[in-house]
Chain A
Amino acid sequence: MHVVVCIKQVPNTTQVRINPETNTLIRDGVESIINPFDMYAIEEGIRLREKFGGKVTVISMGPPQADQALKEAISMGCDEAILITDRAFAGSDTWATSYVLSQAIKKIKDFNVILCGKQASDGDTAQVGPGISTHLDIPQVTYVKKIEEISEKSARVERMMEEGFEIIEIPLPCLFTVVKEINEPRLPSLKGKMKAKKAEIPKWSAEDLNCDFDKIGLDGSPTRVVKIFTPTPRKGGEILKGDTKEIVDRLASELKNEC
């Protein structure tokens, strides 16, 4: 079984700060990590290989330093890694990004399953996984919490819902985005770390992927970010005290004024 895992390098912070003038993320001095949700995708990919044989290829689109995230994936046990990097990709939104990743997967060709984390911890869109399957015209299941059965032809998975879960049967090749309930990611191994240190990670450019240049980068991105801002913190509510009739009257008039 050939599993392709798509990962993203993100800043290691839950408190992302935004530059108020440029409305962009402040990345200076923030350590980069693999998007936490992608760790579950990596782990599930390795588990599928351990069970069925084959290999796990991990890919990432990002700047050259994203090779560190790919090396970490190798240290956990992924077999191969490819970095998709090109200045022409800069400014890509989720549509353009999923197009580029789908082009890379087309180049990889023989795959059975694509795994993604449910969303990235920086953008939180959860759109790239579904976008890839759309570009590749293959079926997808999002929010997978368990792969119950899987063969070369089809899979049966549990899809996390707000209350309970759905059981979905799906033909392969297909794409899953996974949630943290699916497994517990392993730590790297010493042999994996040594392999990662030596690993030469191939870099694929827009040209290598035969990308349509109208579909990538800022120009190829239909999304326009109008404004990013830090919402002002909510003020605490007011508790009315006193005689019941009086405070009911006040509450009613305040509510009327607010509307």
Chain B
Amino acid sequence: MSHLLTDEQKMIKDLCRQIAREKIQPVAAEYDEKEEFPWPIVKILAESDICGIYIPEAYGGMGGGILELAIATEELSWGCGGISLAFAATGLGTFPIILFGNDEQKKKYLPRIAKGTIAAFCITEAEAGSDAGSIKTTAVKDGDHYILNGTKQWITNGGEAEIYTVIAMTDKNKGARGATAFVVEKGTKGLDFGKKEKKLGIRGSATREVIFTDCKIPKENMLSKQGMGFIVAMKTFDYSRPGVAAQALGIAQRALDEAVKYSHERKQFGQFISSFQGIQFMLADMAIQVEAARAMVYRAARIIDSGAKDISKLSAIAKTFASDVAMKVTTDAVQVFGGYGYMREYPVEKLMRDAKITQIYEGTNQIQRSIIAAHLIKELKKK
């Protein structure tokens, strides 16, 4: 199936699939078991120019858009939904710079990221999850500097990344309008990392606390203007959600592929289980859902790349649908495998564990539905 991709997009798909098959898939179970960060894979992605896919050519990247990013994320996640996050979550940490950085900031950070430097986005705190408005990390102006204090939680790529984009409160009294975005580099005095979390899935990805203690950064590290922090975050999520959707899509496609293959290997009652209608209908339903998710993710990505302004609803719809599909399809894949599917020796239980996070992070699917509903009501009022 071509999915109406350009030659360049097909090249990205082919190359990422080759990396997923030859380099990621063989080590996925090991990284899942050991919970290590996949540096050798990051090196391969950097050498293959994948790290710079979505970064403008002027800043050392390949000049691709959200669709290119989504295609790469999908294919890499087919190999491993955890390992692919080193790439995909770097995208999340990079979008604030692409979308809101000035030329100097872009020149300083983007070429490094295109060459394989890892980035991370820091917004979540212990008491500020879905309610991102209640973050407590502060940034206090001190002459030509800002001083950051507070603890960010569950930061993907935390500790491994060199470049952190951070949302902190510059004016607590102003609520959401009192937040500001900053770039903090690893090695800055006062930037430390907490314990590495032990997770259900995506265990080849690092998740840590990022701790700021009187962390002094030059005011040149501020992205956009003071008070724009939430706009930076929300816009970033609009652009990054198709990436989560693509991660979910890759995991779902893998589950479907594994289930189809196994159904034609496993014999019961003297025949392949693929000959039973009960299995056939499950496989067909999985395929329908995966294909619908792909259509939705690619469409959302194309519309964003076309320069459309109002993309929050579309982005939220794609993320919600694809991640719900991933959870359903991976659960069904385990069912097709039966008892074997429940065993770690087979690849599908990991897919089910990896799929779950896509319904939770970058805004739970309940928050996505709130965003979608809010837009529906706003659109009604406009009429």
A residues whose Cβ falls under 8 Å from a Cβ of B: 186-191, 193-194, 197
Contact = CB atoms under 8 A, between A and B. Distances in A.
A193 B7 CA distance: 11
A187 B62 CA distance: 17
12 contacts: A187-B15, A187-B18, A187-B19, A187-B22, A188-B15, A188-B48, A190-B15, A190-B53, A191-B62, A193-B15, A197-B7, A197-B11
A150 B361 CA distance: 53
A189 B7 contact: no
Interface residues of B, number: 16
A189 to B, nearest CB: 5
B22 A189 contact: no
Contacts of A186: 47
B8 interface: yes
A190 B71 CA distance: 14
A190 B12 contact: yes
In terms of DSSP, what is the predominant structure of the interface of chain A? Answer: helix
B12 to A, nearest CB: 7
Contacts of B8: 194
Contacts of B15: 187-188, 190, 193
A189 B22 CA distance: 14
B185 interface: no
B48 A190 contact: yes
A242 B44 CA distance: 61
B11 A187 contact: no
Interface in B2-21: 7-8, 11-12, 15, 18-19
B24 to A, nearest CB: 11
B348 to A, nearest CB: 27
User: Which 9 A-B pairs have CB atoms at the shortest separation, nearest pair first?
Assistant: A190-B49, A189-B49, A189-B48, A193-B11, A191-B49, A187-B48, A190-B62, A190-B15, A190-B48
Contacts of B7: 197
Given A190-B49, A193-B15, 9 more contacts: A187-B15, A187-B22, A187-B23, A187-B44, A189-B47, A190-B50, A193-B11, A194-B11, A197-B11
